[in-house]
Amino acid sequence: MHIHARRRSISFSGRTITIKAAVKGLGDRKHTFSIEKISGIKNVPPTAFKPGRLIFEVPGASKTIVEDVPMYADKVDMNTFTYGGMNSKHVKDLEAAIRKAMSA
């Protein structure tokens, strides 16, 4: 499963999650973690003025905010995937798949 929104992308392979964030210059920042490391998931739905956020609680992972983002990208940490209203259904499906894999 792969979703791209707001200059970030998230991929779920069944066992690992990868969040990529666009940064100024060449390349992207990437953070990969397994579902075993996740202690919690929080999904904040988007509103008319704020993007939605899928937040993963990963003990030991950096909480540093990505500062060198390009225009139209969000300054959040690498454990957070931001998305707009058009991707709400896809993010809910992704969250359900991750929760199912965590409980298996």
The domain made up of 2-103 has a fold known as PH-domain like (2.30.29)
pLDDT band per the 50, 70, 90 thresholds, residue 104: confident
Question: Is the per-residue pLDDT at 35 higher than 90?
Answer: yes
**Which pLDDT tens digit goes with each residue over 41-99?**
999 999 999 999 999 999 999 999 998 999 888 999 999 999 999 999 999 999 999 99
pLDDT tens digits for range 8-21: 999 999 999 999 99
What's residue 88's pLDDT?
A: 96
pTM more than 0.75: yes
Tokens (6 digits) for 52? 């939605």
Domain boundaries, given as residue ranges, for the chain: 2-103
